Amino acid sequence: MAADTLRVGGLVPLTSIDYPGELAAVVFTQGCAWRCVYCHNPDLLPARGDSEIPWSQIIEFLDNRRGLLDAVVFSGGEPTFQAALPQAIEQVRDMGFKIGLHSAGIYPRKLERLLPLIDWIGLDVKARQADYHLITRTRDSGEAAWHSAELVLASGVPHQFRITAHPDWLDDSDAQWVRQRLLAMGASSVVIQQGRLHG
């Protein structure tokens, strides 16, 4: 799949918080197969967006930021939702940028193939495996996400696991359970953030 078919729903030109320690731009890709109760980016969930940014415009922007930005983070939506992601990442890598990826680990096999191409990953882990569907409203989502967490750890790619605590969906004790489980699996960075329901 050609890189220029990547559907982009948004761009943040400069951030110092989306890739720890690096100045980065964030490319928000369109589309996600899950429907989390607290999703913060509902406009990015459909496969097609109302105001997509052509990939050529992203490349032109990055071309002008060589030497000024360290990295490009692919976020979403769920970046691995799109088949053009590996090619888009390779194109940006070839321009000299480090690659960050935000993912919910929806597609473990796709993620496994991507890991050698990326320099840092922020992976959401939303709940205990058995409780996942209560948040994602998607069957078998827990198996996918926890398998993705195992793959990230096995890869050695620098990571940050992110847990969203919410009184209705993942209370503090459950969030701590998830954190301890990830640490026991070998995670070196696990953060708990406080969530809010969209709308």
| 34 scored as a contact of ligand SF4 (CB under 6 A) | yes
Residue showing tokens 């050529």: 56
- Min dist CB 48 to ligand SF4, Å, is 15
- Min dist CB 167 to ligand SF4, Å, is 17
Tell me if 192 sits within 8 A of 161, measured CB to CB: no
Tell me if 170 sits within 8 A of 150, measured CB to CB: no
Tell me if 150 sits within 8 A of 156, measured CB to CB: no
Which range of residues in 15-23, 38-46, 63-71, 86-94 is near ligand SF4 by CB under 6 A? 38-46
For residue 170, give the 3-state DSSP assignment.
Answer: strand
Residue showing tokens 């490349």: 59
- Min dist CB 89 to ligand SF4, Å, is 18
| 170 scored as a contact of ligand SF4 (CB under 6 A) | no
Task: Record the tokens describing residue 62, joined without a space.
Answer: 């990055």
| 76 scored as a contact of ligand SF4 (CB under 6 A) | yes
Residues paired with residue 191 on neighbouring β-strands, in sequence order: 162
| 77 scored as a contact of ligand SF4 (CB under 6 A) | yes
Pairing of strands 120-124, 159-165: parallel
Which range of residues in 14-22, 28-36, 93-101, 174-182 is near ligand SF4 by CB under 6 A? 28-36
Question: CA 196, CA 165: separation in Å to the nearest integer?
Answer: 9
Amino acid at 124: D
Contacting residue, 6, 25, 27, 39, with ligand SF4 by CB under 6 A? 39
Residue showing tokens 């050698």: 116
Contacting residue, 28, 58, 78, 100, with ligand SF4 by CB under 6 A? 78
Contacting residue, 69, 85, 104, 152, with ligand SF4 by CB under 6 A? 104
Q: What are the residues binding ligand SF4 (CB under 6 A)?
A: 32, 34-36, 39, 41, 45, 76-78, 104
